[in-house]
Amino acid sequence: MEFIHQLVGLFITQKRTEETPLPRTLPPLPPPLSEPPDNPATLVLSGQRLFISYDGTSESVQGGGVSACGLAALNCARIVLGKSKLAMPEGDLLEDMISEDTVREIVSICPMWTGSTDLGIEEIIDLPIFNNFIKPLGVNWGKATRSGFTKMLKRLEDVQQHPVVVTVITKIPEIIVCIRLVIQEQNVFVILDPNSRPSHPDGSGLIIDANEERILDYLMDLMGVDEDVLNDPTISWEVAKLSTFCGHCFIPSTEEPDLESLVLQLSVKPYSQRDSDERSRTVKEERDRFLTRLIQWRAYAETQTAALNAYKEEAVRVQRQALRDRDLYREEIEELRRQIGQETNAQRQSEGESSRAWRDRVPLFAGIRIRRPK
């Protein structure tokens, strides 16, 4: 094991950025056990949930970088999947997986990384020490919601041809491991959290449970996001990005490389890595320039959107004022029509009275013949 660690140390290079890791939360858990109980498989299958933590086994306590959880997670996949090929009984396999020796072996790789930021899974999956012993089965992307984690566990359960499947779950800034193994035709889940938390401040946390709902509760408490937040149309793309997770699924490799081949790969890899690093820097610079332009265009779009909204509000205000003026003019027109009607009626009434008075005087001249002069 020491030789393997030395080989890994030949390849891993330090990487530092100015990014500040986000604060990490604590799911509510009972006090952890300091050693595994007898017959853990029997206890778990009977409905109990086990929470174990060994002092001195967290990735930060190991003396390496504070963000070596990605390295520990892939090392966990390598070791656990390697044990699954030993054809030991299912209960013994679970007991060996959660033993203190196994957990210490998993995190013993952490001191080889002294950087201040997380090593992404994509950055280290091509390490010969990993890609020669574990086989990627696919990557599951989803929203960090209960339904998203449910779909991920369902995909693990669907891989029936492999009794042990490991998924490395990444949600910025968290990286943990979820192991699915079958014991007595029942799915049992093991979650390894290599990060220090108030519930296990000095060691990695191990959750062993056959109850899928409790596993989902733990994942939601640790990484979950409220679905109402994601459904908010005003959510920014930055928040949306931090609200997603990816699960790299692994199964055991079907081929075992010999030691000479492994040494050769590790010896040649650094030289090919130089060119890859140069290309990576170029891609990173292009990406940074693109993101800068994107942010600028986003700010411009927000400014134009604010102006458009102001125009819309002014248009609505003018329209409402026009409607109020129209109603007022209608009332004034109706009042004028009413006044004109009253005056017309009064005039007609006056003319009618004059006509009647004239007719009343006409009989006085009845029978009188006026002679015209010759």
Residues 34 and 100 in one domain: yes
Query: What CATH number did the domain enclosing 253 receive?
Result: 3.90.70
Where b means 16+ CB within 10 Å and e means fewer, 53-89 reads: bbeebbbbbbebbbbbbbbbbbbbbbbbbebbeeeee
- 7 within some domain: no
Q: What is the DSSP letter of 21?
A: P
pLDDT of residue 195: 84
**296 and 220 within one domain:** no
What type of residue sits at position 144?
A
Do 168 and 305 lie in a common domain? no
pLDDT value of position 12: 47
Looking at residue 3, its pLDDT comes to 43
Report the C-alpha gap between 129 and 135 in whole angstroms. Answer: 12
Per-block average pLDDT, block size 10, for the chain (374 residues)?
47 37 49 87 93 85 62 91 86 92 90 70 83 87 90 87 91 90 92 87 90 92 78 67 87 72 54 58 78 82 87 90 88 88 84 70 53 59
Residue 309 lies in a domain: yes
Task: Determine the Cα–Cα distance for residues 317 and 314; give it in Å rounded to an integer.
Answer: 5
Task: For residues 151 and 257, state if they share a domain.
Answer: yes
For residue 88, the model assigns a pLDDT of 84
Note whether residue 364 is domain-resident.
no
The answer to whether position 4 is within a domain reads no
Residues 220 and 134 in one domain: yes
109 and 226 housed in the same domain: yes
How does DSSP assign 158-224, residue by residue? H-TT-SEEEEEEEETTEEEEEEEEEETTEEEEEEEE-S-BTTBTTS-EEEEES-HHHHHHHHHHHH-
My answer on whether 27 and 155 are in the same domain is yes
- Nearest partner of 269 among 126, 55, 94, judged by Cα: 126
pLDDT at 373: 61
The answer to whether residue 81 sits within a structural domain is: yes
- 45 and 183 in contact (C-beta within 8 Å)? yes
Q: How many domains does the chain have?
A: 2
Domain identity same for 323 and 245: no
**Are 242 and 118 part of one and the same domain?**
yes
User: Is 359 part of any domain?
Assistant: no
| pLDDT for the residue 266 | 54
Structural domain span for residue 310: 286-340
In this structure, the answer to whether residues 204 and 327 fall within a common structural domain is: no
Query: Is 292 found in the same domain as 257?
Result: no
| Residue 30 belongs to some domain of the structure | yes
> Whole-angstrom Cα distance, residue 317 to residue 91?
73
349 domain-assigned = no
Same domain, 84 and 207: yes
